[in-house]
A and B are shown apart, each in its own frame.
Chain A
Amino acid sequence: MNARISHIAANTFREAVRDRVLYNLIAFALLLVGAAILVGQISIDIERLVVINLGLTAVSLFGMLIAIFIGIGLVSKEIEKRTLYTMLSRPVRRWEFIIGKFFGLAGTLVVNTFFMAIGVFAALLYVSHHLQRPDAWLLVALYFIILQLLMITAIALLFSSFSSPLLSAVFAFSLFVIGSFAEDLRGFAAMTKGLTHWVAGSAAYLVPNFSALNVISSVAHGEAVSRQLVFYNSAYALFYAALALCGAVLIFERRDLK
């Protein structure tokens, strides 16, 4: 990787890890996993299910919150603190700044997910006393969560490149919600004709499809995830993240920073 990009990424990672909000969210996620154990104990025969469903959902949701709330401030904070001007006065290009920021936050999220995943597996081990072979599919679900986080980070960065932090948060969160219903949007498009079909179809392909990346409920039942799905989901998430980053670069290149 370009040395300048890796420096920006490393600094972004360091800054994010120092952020108190980040620690609070991790602590809360771990608390939720703990709650999963308690809920599991007061239900009948679904302790493992509750731990997996609640644990992975917590990893996903808190990852999303971290990605959105840190992602939206990546550009605006640098402008507020005026550190961006210092950076851009050096031989750092604007696109390198955006890409570096993306990799920095992506690295933070991967590390966070790793620690939260350890929490989920520890909780699972606690309730069932041993791990089973189908539990390996949880790793695929966690991998898909990381892919989701990469997409939402790129989206947050895209909005952050032209909008205020508050609006960026609203836009990114709205897109996350819409993306969770993307399959319904495509189902709706398939059932309509004419202009509605065209508009709904285009919107369905333009919004991120998070539902295809959510396999939590099936892995909780020990169901396998096909290799093809892993491959195409990976390709899709990387294409989408790259798409959003290209948009962010194009906008940020034209932004008047005076």
Chain B
Amino acid sequence: MKPARGTTVIASILLIACLNGTVFTLGRVDRLRTGASLEEILYISSPKVLKRLSLGYDGLLADVYWTRAVQYFGNRHRGGPENYKLLAPLLEITTYLDPHLVVAYEFGANFLASPLPDGAGEPERAVQLVEKGIRANPDEWRLYYNLGFIYYMEMRDYARAADAFARGSERPGAHPFLKILAANMAQHAGEVETARILWITTFESTHDRQIKYNALAHLRALKVEEDVTNLEKLVPVYRERTGRLPASLNDFVSARMLPGIPVDPTGRPYKLMPDGTIEVRDPDDFPFITKGLPPGHQAPRPDFSKLKMELPH
């Protein structure tokens, strides 16, 4: 039997109209329900119950929950959150379902430990998560590295950081920097240098481009902060020699205090301000910097699309 032409035409038109209608109304529903989904999903917040409900497919469910945790963090991060209250429970569920999902401890702890608004600002919970990961995966040197990183960067606990790096350096395949880091921690020496080693280790030991870019942005920020500190130290020396403030960075070169005009990691020269402070040309190029910013200017949120994948010199 041949289909009725009229019915086909009307049904096709209706089908297209309804498809457009669903897309439009769903967009409206989404606007009304921003961020609602995870609140509901965590109605089952007990990892034990979820493990039972997974009927043995706990590995797959762990992957689903890890993806949820990443999405939750990403969405909150982009939206400028007040808190990340569901992040820790999501990570707890993920790692209970699959205790060997090292990536969840590694990156999950970083999400938890970083201060607001870049992370959840919960370094204690991050430490608990990594300790749990180490108990389940005692040979994973990255977890010890993570633990030391959090103790040093977020908690300034040198003794525990040194212990974590030292334990990690004894694991098979550990990055050689771990021994140096352990030694630096023990001496509380060279804060900038230690931070640089930590970020270089992060850069070299990950395959994830976002993490690599993040490490690069921190390394560039360290370079800027070091340059600004050193240049600002030259100002009183110049003043003592000449009896006046330098008018520009050229004055340092003329006075043979610098071999050339210093440039920031983007290749642009630093600016000497009339009050003797140093600023970068474009502060928006440098997330994470705390020095070299114009007065009242906040460091921008990271935009990794601008970065080239090369370490600053």
Shortest distance from the beta carbon of A57 to any chain B beta carbon, whole Å: 11
**In the bound complex, what is the Cα–Cα distance between A219 and B8 (angstroms)?**
42
Fill in one digit per residue for B1-26: 1 if any A CB lies within 8 Å of its CB, else 0.
10110011001101100110111011
* A-contacting 9-mer, from B67-75, B146-154, B196-204: B67-75
Inter-chain contacts of B37 with A (CB < 8 A): 183-184, 187, 211
Q: Which of B19, B33, B68 contacts A243 (CB 8 A)?
A: B19
Inter-chain contacts of A239 with B (CB < 8 A): 18, 21-22, 25
Fill in one digit per residue for A227-256: 1 if any B CB lies within 8 Å of its CB, else 0.
011001101100110110011011001101
B28 within 8 A of A: yes
Q: Which 9 A-B pairs have the closest CB atoms?
A: A239-B21, A253-B3, A243-B18, A246-B15, A236-B25, A183-B37, A232-B28, A242-B18, A235-B25
B208 within 8 A of A: no
Asked if residues B29 and A240 are in contact (CB atoms below 8 Å), the reply is no
Given contacts A205-B23, A232-B28, 14 further A-B contacts (CB under 8 A): A95-B7, A184-B67, A188-B67, A191-B75, A209-B26, A212-B30, A235-B21, A236-B22, A236-B25, A236-B29, A239-B21, A253-B4, A253-B8, A254-B3
Q: Which of B14, B21, B29, B43 contacts A209 (CB 8 A)?
A: B29
Of the listed residues A184, A228, A257, the one surrounded by the most CB atoms of chain B closer than 10 A to its CB is A184
B49 within 8 A of A: no
Contact-residue bracket for chain B: 20 to 34
Inter-chain contacts of B3 with A (CB < 8 A): 94, 253-254
B40 within 8 A of A: yes
B55 within 8 A of A: no
Interfacial residues of chain A within 173-189, with CB under 8 A of chain B in the complex: 183-184, 186-188
Task: Using CB atoms, name the residue of chain B closest to A181.
Answer: B64
**In the bound complex, what is the Cα–Cα distance between A240 and B20 (angstroms)?**
10
Task: Using CB atoms, name the residue of chain A closest to B3.
Answer: A253
- Chain A interface main SS type: helix
Asked if residues A250 and B11 are in contact (CB atoms below 8 Å), the reply is yes
**In the bound complex, what is the Cα–Cα distance between A27 and B40 (angstroms)?**
28
Inter-chain contacts of A256 with B (CB < 8 A): 1
**In the bound complex, what is the Cα–Cα distance between A209 and B24 (angstroms)?**
13
**In the bound complex, what is the Cα–Cα distance between A239 and B187 (angstroms)?**
68
- Chain B interface main SS type: helix
Asked if residues A212 and B29 are in contact (CB atoms below 8 Å), the reply is yes
Task: Jot down 25 A-B pairs with beta carbons below 8 A, ordered by A.
Answer: A93-B4, A94-B7, A184-B68, A187-B37, A191-B70, A191-B71, A205-B22, A209-B26, A211-B40, A212-B26, A226-B32, A229-B29, A229-B32, A235-B21, A236-B22, A239-B18, A239-B21, A242-B21, A243-B18, A247-B15, A250-B12, A253-B3, A253-B4, A253-B11, A256-B1
Shortest distance from the beta carbon of B303 to any chain A beta carbon, whole Å: 14
A214 within 8 A of B: yes
A217 within 8 A of B: yes
Known: A217-B40, A229-B29, A250-B8. A191 touches B18 (CB 8 A): no
Inter-chain contacts of B14 with A (CB < 8 A): 242, 246
**In the bound complex, what is the Cα–Cα distance between A236 and B32 (angstroms)?**
13
Known: A191-B71, A239-B18. A232 touches B25 (CB 8 A): yes
Task: Using CB atoms, name the residue of chain B closest to A182.
Answer: B26
Inter-chain contacts of A247 with B (CB < 8 A): 15
Of the listed residues A217, A256, A257, the one surrounded by the most CB atoms of chain B closer than 10 A to its CB is A217
**In the bound complex, what is the Cα–Cα distance between A94 and B7 (angstroms)?**
9
**In the bound complex, what is the Cα–Cα distance between A171 and B67 (angstroms)?**
25
Inter-chain contacts of A93 with B (CB < 8 A): 4, 7
Inter-chain contacts of A94 with B (CB < 8 A): 3, 7
**In the bound complex, what is the Cα–Cα distance between A247 and B15 (angstroms)?**
7
Q: Which of B11, B21, B68 contacts A95 (CB 8 A)?
A: B11
Asked if residues B29 and A249 are in contact (CB atoms below 8 Å), the reply is no
Inter-chain contacts of A205 with B (CB < 8 A): 22-23, 26
Inter-chain contacts of B70 with A (CB < 8 A): 191
Inter-chain contacts of B28 with A (CB < 8 A): 228, 232
**In the bound complex, what is the Cα–Cα distance between A205 and B33 (angstroms)?**
16
Inter-chain contacts of B67 with A (CB < 8 A): 184, 188
**In the bound complex, what is the Cα–Cα distance between A247 and B14 (angstroms)?**
10
